[in-house]
A and B are shown apart, each in its own frame.
Chain A
Amino acid sequence: MTNHMYLPVIVLFIAGAGFAIGPLALAWLWARTFSPQKSGPTKNRIYECGLESSGDAWIKFKPGYYIYAILFLIFDVEGVFLLPFAVAFGGFTVAEAVSILVFLILLAEGLVWACQKKVLAWS
Chain B
Amino acid sequence: MDEQLKSELRRQGVVATTLQELYNWGRKSSIWPLNFGLACCAIEMIATTMARYDLARFGAEVFRPSPRQADLMIVAGTVTKKMAPQVVRLYNQMAEPKYVISMGACAISGGPFKQGYNVLKGVDRYIPVDVYIPGCPPRPEALLDAFLMLQRKIDEQQLTGPSRPRHLQAKLPSEFDVPEYGEHDLTPAHNDSIWHVPLVHISNAGKNESGRD
- From A35, A37, A47, give the contact of B93 (CB < 8 A): A47
Stretch of A3-11, A38-46, A65-73, A78-86 on the interface side: A38-46
- From B68, B96, B167, B175, give the contact of A47 (CB < 8 A): B68
Chain A interface residue count, CB cutoff 8 Å, equals 16
Cross-chain contact B175 with A40 (CB below 8 angstroms): yes
Chain B interface residue count, CB cutoff 8 Å, equals 22
A89 in contact (CB, < 8 A): no
What chain A residues lie within 8 Å of B169 (beta carbons)? 36
Cross-chain contact A42 with B89 (CB below 8 angstroms): yes
Q: Is the interface of A mostly helix, strand, loop or mixed?
A: loop
Q: Which residues of B contact A (CB under 8 A)?
A: 23, 66-68, 85-87, 89-90, 92-93, 96, 159-160, 167-170, 173-175, 178
What chain A residues lie within 8 Å of B67 (beta carbons)? 47, 50
CA distance A97 to B172 in the complex (A): 78
CB distance from A35 to the nearest CB of B (A): 7
CA distance A45 to B87 in the complex (A): 15
CA distance A62 to B173 in the complex (A): 41
